[in-house]
Every structure is written in C-alpha cells, then in structure tokens.
Chain A
Amino acid sequence: MKQLLIRNTLAIRNTLGIALFILVSLASCTTTTIDEFRQGETGIESNESVVILGRRQASDYETRSEFVSCVGERMNRGDGAMRIIPEQEFVDAMFPWFEPRTAPLRTRDLERLMTEDVVADKMTEFGVRYIVWLDGFTETTDRSGSISCTIGPGGAGCFGFGSWEDDSNFDARVWDVGSLTNVGTISTDATGQSYLPALIIPIPLIARVEANACSRLATQLKEFVNGS
C-alpha cells in the first residue's frame, strides 16, 4: 500500500515535471520571419552615421521609442557596428522638422526638406548617411485562462492558468541621405505564446517576442547598411 502511494506520488511529480518542461520549451519558442527588399546599393564610411526614427503618424498606435532605442543599441555594438544617433537627440536638434506632423513621409519630402539650409547643415553636422524609419507595434491576442489569488490569516496563494499570444510587426525603411532615395525595406514578424501557470505562486513563462524582433531586425539592418 505504502509502495503504491510512493509510486503514485512519483508519477504525479514526473507528470508535473514534463508539463513544466513542455511549458518552458513552448514559452521560449518565438517564431521570427525577416523579409528584405533591396532597391539600391548601400555602404557606410567610419565618419558617417545612421539615425533610427519611429513613425508616429498612425491614429491608433505609435512605434514605441523603447523599440527604436533597442534596435539602435544593437546596431551600435558587435561585428559591423556603426555610429547611431539617438532618436530624441536628433529630433530635438532638428526641431521642428521631424515632429509627427512635419516629418517627411516620402523621399521627395526629404529632398524638399534638404533645401532648407538649417536642415542640411544639421545633417552634415551629424554626418547622417542613412535614415531608418521604423513603423510597427506589438499586439497581444488570444488571452485565455484565469488565475485567482486568495489572502487569508494562514497565508496567500494563487491558482489557475493564463496564456496569451504576442505578435510584433515592424517595417524598417532605409533612406540614403546622400542620394535622397529609398534603398530598401526590411520587415520583421515575430510571434510567440506566453504562459502564466499559478500553483501557490505564479510562474511567468514569457515569450520575448519584441526583444527577438528587435535583435533580428538590428542584425539584418546592420548587414543591409554595411552592404554585405
């Protein structure tokens, strides 16, 4: 009888262990797809720099500045690293030409903007060779499950299970400031499922969807700008 009880306990432990392993494996699983469309030759000198800007013209979302910084930081380090001008520093220095309402939407607008001496001088001062426009957002869908937490004199605890899916979609358009043309577009689509099982304490198993999108996009952008 005692042996049967021990065997059952071990079986439950194993099942829980396997379930947890599957959950962790699934949580770490993020699918990222990168699409590159090249329209022109690229390359960058050591004295030239890149500025990465977020598009903020859409009415129901805006490209988060944290994502823009993340891509910039990753392009600024490692193999083939390049000089990246921080977004806020550039937008403030160029004020009022790169605000959501006044920023150029097409390369034709940039061409017109460059006829302004103050803008052209600042671009030269920064050594800007490429402007990268990031446009996109991360959406959370398919939320399911529920978790309830209780607090009492004997202690506190949570029980339940929750899950959701994150989907990051970002486009990066690369403008060559030298030729005033669009030299290419890189699109990234990352999806991943996150889980939150709670057995006394909640254990978050979060899929790093936006972080993966940032990392893959930055690597691809770096190669694209370097012309490799």
Chain B
Amino acid sequence: MHILDVTTKGLSRKIVLLLAALSLAACGVNNVVIQGSFPTPNINKLPLSVAVYYDTALTEFSYIEYSETGSEEYNIASGQSHVELFNAVLPAMFDTVIVVESMEEAEARGVDAIFAPAIEEFQLALPSKTKLDVYEIWIKYNMRLLTAEGDYIADWVLTSYGKTPTESLRSVEAAINEAAVVALRDLASSFSLSFTQVPEVRDWLNTL
C-alpha cells in the first residue's frame, strides 16, 4: 500500500511537471532556422567579375510572426540560407564571384560590379489564419548593382513566393521551412533568368 502511495505521488508529480512544461512551451516563441540545399543553375555565364556584399541586415535576417493575441509565435531566421542560396547561384551566373566584407574592400578588388541584395519584406501565411490547406511565404527583395567605385548601375525589386500543402504528420516548423525553401528557389530562378532583362542592367551590359 505504501509502495502504491509513493508511485501515485511520483506519477502526480510527473503529470504536474509535464503540464507545466506544456504550458511554458505554449507560451514561448517557436524558432525556425531555414535550412535547405540549393542546386546550381544551368544557365550561360556572363563574362563578368562581380563582388557580392552581404550586409548584416541580410545575414542576420529573421522574421517574427505574431499570434492573433499579439504574442510572438514564430521566429523565422532565414539570413544564412539566403547567403547559401546566393553563393550557389552567383558563381553559375558570372565568371568570377568574390564575397567581400565591406563596400570599400569591393572597390579595392577591381571588379566589374558590386552586387548587394537586401530583404525588404517577409510575409508568412499560416493555414490556421488563411483557412487554406497551404503554408505560404512571400519575400520582397531590393537588388542593387553598383560599379566598382560604388556608383549606381541598377536597383530593382524582385519578389519570390513559396507554398507547401498541409500534411498530417508534419510539424508547422517543417512546413514553414519547406515553404521558405520553395520561395528561395523561386528567387534563384527568377533572379538568374531575369538578370539580363532588367533595363538598367541591359543598358550597362551594352556599354561593356
């Protein structure tokens, strides 16, 4: 009987601890670090040497999705995945690509152009809010192309979109990651295929 009491007490304590842990987990923000692999584009290279500058706003970019009550629900860190994506795409687009730590360093390297991407807007649509059976992500970018001296060549806006359907045995975090990877692939495809069609870039290429 005594043994039974101890077991019951132990079980009750475990249930209380589990409930407390669940309550705390429900209150905290869910962190999602976007991870994915990005293939190299099969496109013709441009005979250019380009320096790429990722500022900290890009490398440390994260988006916070708030719940309907105003509390932080998801913290989506996608800065590093953007860097990985550009590092896979740019060498397939240009003959030489150098990653630089500052704009001054880029100017000193004697490249044809400096490329500096920036994220302007990030949006997440969850099925619980949209009532659709898909997770969606929109990202708006500002792509900047400068001369080696830092003068303006082109500055254009690019949007990317990714969605993934809801699935019974998949977590929300995994679905967000998948939608973000689709959006990043969309960015890579539209950026690599439309680069030479940007009017200012086309004009600049014609002057070389």
Contact residues of A with B, CB < 8 Å? 56, 60-62, 64, 92-97, 99-102, 117-119, 122
Are the CB atoms of B134 and A96 closer together than 8 Å?
no
Q: Which residue of A lies closest to B191 (CB)?
A: A96
A93 to B39, CA, bound (A): 8
Q: How large is the interface on B (under 10, 10 to 19, 20 to 34, 35 or more residues)?
A: 20 to 34
Closest 9 CB pairs of A and B: A96-B189, A95-B39, A118-B42, A99-B189, A92-B39, A96-B41, A102-B189, A95-B41, A96-B192
Q: Could you tell me the distance in whole angstroms from the C-beta of A102 to the nearest C-beta in chain B?
A: 5
Q: Is the interface of B mostly helix, strand, loop or mixed?
A: mixed
Are the CB atoms of A64 and B42 closer together than 8 Å?
no
A92 to B40, CA, bound (A): 8
Given contacts A94-B42, A95-B42, A122-B42, contact A60 B132 (CB under 8 A): yes
Does B34 touch A at the CB level, under 8 Å? no
A60 to B131, CA, bound (A): 10
- Among candidates A56, A64, A95, residue contacting B189 with C-beta atoms closer than 8 Å: A95
Given contacts A60-B132, A118-B43, A122-B42, contact A96 B182 (CB under 8 A): no
Q: Could you tell me the distance in whole angstroms from the C-beta of B116 to the nearest C-beta in chain A?
A: 22
A100 to B136, CA, bound (A): 14
Q: Which residue of B lies closest to A140 (CB)?
A: B133
Does B19 touch A at the CB level, under 8 Å? no
Given contacts A60-B132, A95-B41, A119-B42, contact A102 B193 (CB under 8 A): yes
Q: Could you tell me the distance in whole angstroms from the C-beta of A179 to the nearest C-beta in chain B?
A: 24
A101 to B188, CA, bound (A): 11
Residues of B within 8 A of A122 (CB): 42
A122 to B134, CA, bound (A): 32
